[in-house]
Amino acid sequence: MPVPLQDILDRIATQMAALPDKGQVAAYIPELAQVDPNQFAIAVALPDGQVHTAGDAETRFSIQSVSKVFSLALALGRQGDQLWSRVGREPSGLPFNSILQLEHEGGIPRNPFINAGALVVTDAILDRNQPREVLGELLRFVQSAAEDSDIRINEHVARSETAHGDRNMALAHFLAAHGNLQNAPALTCGTYFHQCALEMTTRQLALAGRFLIGGPTSPQFPQLISPNSVRRINALMLTCGHYDGSGDFAYRVGLPGKSGVGGGILVIAPGRASIAVWSPGLNAQGNSQLGTLAVEQLATATGWSIFG
């Protein structure tokens, strides 16, 4: 008889708590540097509406770059394939905040999940609207995906990043210099920092990811984007969702995933489940150290890898 999912999650949480090396919290955003690294949570939302959790699954954390999945979903919904004239679909093989390829490739970021690409996506949804309106729309998108209105943007985190956002500002200015930014760099960056400051629990993130499970539509949760977009966003998560750690994540876990420097990862088992994992300590590529290990163990225990 297969081991019940809840038992698998409990066992993973116990094992993670016992590991001494939790990785390093992101120090370049002061608000994140204060987060206790000794926290871990995992949540699995199933298409039938069930949610299983273990660990600190009711603690809110900053989803940071996991938000790039939601902004991309909005941008594709609004602009469709037009978006791809401004941003590519190839893994970068470089750190998330690198400027190198922008110089070589004429201001077209490699993909929508590295910072330069995410700035373009945010700039595209910003269009000529007010940041407040666009952020409200993004927040409502995430809230309706999770079917939970108790999700918010943490102003302290947004301000903390704004005060130390020189690198992203440099990326935005570089994009502007190449004619690939519609709004003033400070406006696009400000909107992006607020988007990254979205805050929710691990349980809420797993629920919010259900729109990417795909497969037969379920009356249990809202279909927010087209099946085509679901497939394409999953493909990008698999190839680019972990920056220069994307190959290693695909090798170890075998599922599309998107990480953030707050220590969260949203992982999709296509047709089966939306998985969220959180542990604030990061590995050398800026992806959650224990989070990666935990989803690796989950994929092994469940056989959910897309590669069989």
Residue for token pair 């930014």: 181
Which residue type sits at 177?
A
DSSP β-ladder status, 198-201 and 41-45: unpaired
246 in contact with ligand GLN (CB under 6 A): no
Among 79, 97, 143, 285, binds ligand GLN (CB under 6 A): 97
Q: Is 115 annotated as a binding residue?
A: yes
Q: Which of these is catalytic: 65, 246, 274, 279?
A: 65
Which token pair is 241? 């969702």
Q: Is 251 annotated as a binding residue?
A: no
Of 153-172, binders to ligand GLN (CB under 6 A) are 161, 168
Short-list 152, 184, 160, 163, CA closest to 63: 152
Shortest distance, position 241 Cβ to ligand GLN, whole Å: 10
Start-to-end CA distance of the chain, whole Å, equals 19
Told to judge if 192 belongs to the known catalytic residues of this protein, a careful annotator would answer: yes
Instruction: Evaluate whether 282 touches 209 at the Cβ level (below 8 Å).
Output: no
Shortest distance, position 34 Cβ to ligand GLN, whole Å: 16
Shortest distance, position 300 Cβ to ligand GLN, whole Å: 26
Among 71, 98, 115, 297, binds ligand GLN (CB under 6 A): 115
Told to judge if 68 belongs to the known catalytic residues of this protein, a careful annotator would answer: yes
Q: What is the C-alpha R_g of the chain? A: 18
24 in contact with ligand GLN (CB under 6 A): no
260 in contact with ligand GLN (CB under 6 A): yes
Q: Is 161 annotated as a binding residue?
A: yes
Q: Which of these is catalytic: 261, 267, 277, 295?
A: 261
Cβ contacts of 267 within 8 Å, gap of 6 or more: 209, 253, 255, 256, 257, 274, 275, 276, 277, 295
Q: Residues in the site for ligand GLN, rule: CB under 6 A? A: 64-65, 96-97, 115, 161, 168, 196, 260-261, 286
